[in-house]
């Protein structure tokens, strides 16, 4: 039997750029039948949102050259063969003693080119190219342990909102694309990663004090109660990244890390936000994180909490 020939490449106009999409009919999500072109069209449908989430940030790519049926590649360096208009930022990795030029999205064509290069997930840093060593985003990761019910995640999200309100900080929630919730807070880029991480732990401690039966901040995974929710302050460590708002996740159902309103949290099921359903939601609601840069919080109150709690430099985590 003759083998099926590859589908011909197509060219897409994305803003002022033309991006060539090879193998557009390649199945990327076998469980749903979604193709590479379907993935491209998804990202086009949430264009302003995904660019807003990635703009000017070093970005690690999770690539699946053969779709989910093949191997996943964690790509820090820009993939080879990039056109000269793809922007990058150079970052240093102390653990390895070397630099890498990472994708640094400036426009939608940059995103679509990365999808052409088999990227499914986009994982940006919480700092920007102007000063990669000073984060402008504090990330609160509500990470449920294996036996933690979704109702507990929802309940703790409410506690987080109350604590942020008491601080005068504006939180911007989104589903993780898995079983958790992420909340982002814009901060003034005046502190290094160590201080932001210390501040994040001080806040996690406060959430645990308010919800002791629901929350753990225990450092080692093996020591955590599997029924509790871990407030993962480690996601603020240097070079730690999590899926961007509007990023598809590399899972069979093609779930999406989706911005949500605080008032939605009691009623939603994160499994409902997928590559198939989010475009209509986006068309109806727009980017719920569009104004995130307008609400900048000073970390000073949390730095004071960290000093109160005697939080010093933290060891490397095991997650």
Q: Give tens-digit pLDDT for 119-161.
A: 999 999 999 999 999 999 999 999 999 999 999 999 999 999 9
Arithmetic mean of pLDDT over the chain: 95
At residue 223, φ and ψ (nearest 5 deg) are -95, 0
- What token pair was written down for 216? 């753990």
Q: Can you list the pairs that 83-87 forms with residues at least 24 positions away whose Cβ atoms lie under 8 Å?
A: 83/113, 85/17, 85/109, 86/110, 86/113
Q: Give tens-digit pLDDT for 154-213.
A: 999 999 999 999 999 999 999 999 999 999 999 999 999 999 999 999 999 999 999 999
The domains found in the chain, sorted by start residue, are 10-124 (3.90.920.10), 137-240+293-308 (3.90.920.10)
Helix, strand or coil, per DSSP, at residue 78: coil
Q: Is 97 left (phi over 0), alpha (psi -120 to 50) or beta?
A: left
The answer to whether residues 7 and 25 touch, using CB atoms and an 8 Å cutoff, is yes
Per-residue pLDDT, averaged over 7-22, amounts to: 96
pTM, two decimals, is: 0.95
How sure is the predictor about 94, in pLDDT bands with cuts at 50, 70 and 90?
confident
Bridge partners (DSSP) listed for residue 181: 142, 175
The answer to whether residues 19 and 116 touch, using CB atoms and an 8 Å cutoff, is yes
User: How far is 133 from 114, CA to CA, in rounded Å?
Assistant: 24
The answer to whether residues 141 and 113 touch, using CB atoms and an 8 Å cutoff, is no
Nearest-CA neighbor of 115 among 200, 236, 254, 19?
Answer: 19
- What token pair was written down for 160? 């987080």
- What token pair was written down for 283? 């068309």
Q: Give tens-digit pLDDT for 28-39.
A: 999 999 999 999
Per-residue pLDDT, averaged over 263-291, amounts to: 98
Helix, strand or coil, per DSSP, at residue 264: helix
The answer to whether residues 154 and 264 touch, using CB atoms and an 8 Å cutoff, is no
């Amino acid at each position: 039997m003759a083998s099926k020939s590859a589908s011909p490449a197509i060219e897409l106009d994305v803003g002022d750029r033309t991006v060539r999409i090879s193998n557009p009919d390649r199945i990327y999500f076998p469980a749903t039948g979604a193709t590479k072109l379907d993935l491209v069209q998804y990202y086009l449908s949430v264009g302003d949102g995904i660019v807003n989430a990635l703009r000017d940030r070093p970005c690690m790519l999770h690539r699946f050259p053969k779709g989910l049926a093949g191997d996943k590649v964690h790509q820090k360096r820009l993939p080879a063969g990039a056109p000269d208009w793809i922007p990058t930022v150079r970052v240093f990795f102390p653990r390895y003693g070397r630099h890498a030029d990472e994708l640094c999205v400036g426009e939608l064509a940059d995103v679509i080119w990365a999808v052409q290069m088999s990227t499914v997930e986009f994982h940006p840093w919480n700092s920007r190219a102007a000063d990669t060593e000073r984060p402008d985003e504090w990330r609160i990761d509500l990470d449920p342990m294996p036996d933690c019910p979704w109702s507990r995640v929802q309940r703790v999200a409410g506690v987080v909102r109350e604590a942020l309100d008491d601080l005068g900080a504006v939180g911007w929630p989104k589903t993780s694309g898995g079983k958790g919730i992420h909340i982002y807070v814009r901060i003034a880029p005046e502190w290094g990663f160590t201080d932001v991480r210390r501040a994040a732990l001080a806040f996690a401690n406060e959430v645990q004090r308010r919800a002791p039966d629901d929350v753990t901040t225990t450092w080692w995974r093996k020591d955590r109660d599997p029924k509790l929710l871990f407030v993962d302050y480690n996601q603020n460590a240097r070079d730690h990244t999590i899926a961007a708002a509007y990023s598809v996740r590399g899972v069979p159902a093609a779930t999406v890390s989706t911005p949500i309103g605080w008032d939605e949290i009691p009623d939603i099921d994160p499994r409902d936000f997928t590559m198939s359903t989010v475009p209509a939601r986006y068309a109806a609601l727009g980017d719920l994180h569009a104004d995130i840069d307008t609400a900048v919080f000073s970390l000073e109150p949390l730095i004071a909490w960290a000093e109160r709690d005697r939080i010093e430099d933290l060891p490397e985590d095991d997650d």
